[in-house]
Amino acid sequence: MKTVAMMGLGAMGSRMAERLLEAGYPLVVYNRTQSKANNLVEKGAMRAATPRQAAEQADIVFSMVTDDVASQAIWTHPETGGILGLNANKIVIESSTLTPSWIQQLQGKVQETEATFMDAPVAGSRPQAEQGILVFLVGGSEETVQEMTPILEVMGGAILPAGPTGSGSALKLAVNVLFGVQIAAFSEMLGLLERSGFARDIAIEMLGKTPVVSPALKGASGLIAADNFAPMFPIDLVEKDFRYAAQTAERLGTTAPVTEATRQAYQAAQEAGLGGLNIVGVAKLYQP
C-alpha cells in the first residue's frame, strides 16, 4: 500500500486522516500546531516535524489547510516546505479551498520537482468528512484522477473530474458561492418575514414547502429553525471563499456583484463577532 501524508489536521484534515488510517493506509501526519497530531499518532500515524519531512516520507501528499497563505507556508518555506521533499515518484493532492491562481503557481513549483499535481477540494463538511462521503472536485489529468480514485474513495462518496489543474478549485468556489448566497438571502428574508408578523418556525416551514428552497437550503434552514449554529463550515471560511471568488472574477476581467454583495453580509457577521459560527450564523444578523 502507498504511504500517504496528510498536512493540515484541522476540522477537515483530521477527519480525512482518520478515514485513511481506518482503511489501513500507512499515514504520515503534519500539523503546524503539533499537539493536534497526537490523537492520530496514538492510533498509528507517523508524525512529521515539517511539511518537507511529510513529503519525503510519503508517496501521496495531501494538504488541507485554511487558505492560500497557509498553503504557501507549508509548500514553499525555503527550509521546511513540502516542495523540498518531492520527486518524480510522488503525487501532490491539494484539497484546501484556494484560488485557482495560487493552484496554478503551486502546480508550476511541483512540476519543477517532476512530481505529479492535482487539486481536489471537497464539497461537504465535518459530518461528510467523518463518514467518508465528501464530494471531490478534481482538477488534473485523466490518468492521475484514475490512479488516485481508490484513495479518494476512502474519503469521498463522489469523485467529479472537473478538467485540467485549477478547475477543481474554480468549481469549488462556484459551489460555495451558490450555497452561501442562498443562505444569506434566506436569512435576510426570514428577518423580513419575522418583522412582518410571521413566527420564525412558521416562516421557515412555509418557505420550505415552496420549490424555491433547494435541498441544500432545506438542510441549512433546518439548522436555523433548531437554533443550531455550532461550527461546521465557519463563517470565517465562507468569507474567504467569497473573497477568492470575487478576486478570481476580477482576475478574469469580469464582475461578480452578487458575490461581492453577499460577501458583505458575511463580513458584517464577522464584524458582529459571529465568524466562528457555522455558515447559518449569518441569520443572527437579521433576527429581530
Ligand X SMILES: NC(=O)c1ccc[n+]([C@@H]2O[C@H](COP(=O)([O-])OP(=O)(O)OC[C@H]3O[C@@H](n4cnc5c(N)ncnc54)[C@H](OP(=O)(O)O)[C@@H]3O)[C@@H](O)[C@H]2O)c1
Closest distance of CB 120 from ligand X, Å: 11
Please give the grid coordinates belonging to residue 228. 443550531
Stretches 27-35, 85-93, 212-220, 245-253: which one binds ligand X (CB under 6 A)? 27-35
48 binds ligand X (CB under 6 A): no
13 binds ligand X (CB under 6 A): yes
In the bound state with ligand X, the residue whose beta carbon lies nearer, of 69 and 189, is 69
237 binds ligand X (CB under 6 A): yes
Distance in angstroms (rounded) separating the CA atoms of residues 117 and 3: 16
Specify the 3-state DSSP secondary structure of 13: helix
Specify the 3-state DSSP secondary structure of 280: helix
Residues from 159 through 218 that contact ligand X (CB under 6 A): none
What track of x and - describes contact with ligand X for positions 120 through 139 (by CB under 6 A)? --x--xx-------------
The conformational region for residue 199 under phi > 0 = left, psi -120 to 50 = alpha, else beta, is: beta
All residues at 6 or more sequence positions from 22 whose CB lies less than 8 Å from its CB, including other chains: none
> Using CA atoms in the order 160, 277, 34, 37, what is the torsion angle rounded to 10 degrees?
-50
In the bound state with ligand X, the residue whose beta carbon lies nearer, of 66 and 149, is 66
Among 50, 53, 57, 96, binds ligand X (CB under 6 A): 96
Closest distance of CB 123 from ligand X, Å: 7
Distance in angstroms (rounded) separating the CA atoms of residues 212 and 198: 19
Closest distance of CB 13 from ligand X, Å: 5
- CA 119 to centroid of chain Cα atoms: 11
Nearest Cα to Cα of residue 181 among 125, 244, 83, 265: 265
In the bound state with ligand X, the residue whose beta carbon lies nearer, of 31 and 116, is 31
Specify the 3-state DSSP secondary structure of 46: strand
Closest distance of CB 236 from ligand X, Å: 8
64 binds ligand X (CB under 6 A): yes
> Which residues sit at the interface with ligand X, rule CB under 6 A?
8-13, 31-33, 36, 64-66, 69-70, 73-74, 96-97, 122, 125-126, 232-233, 237
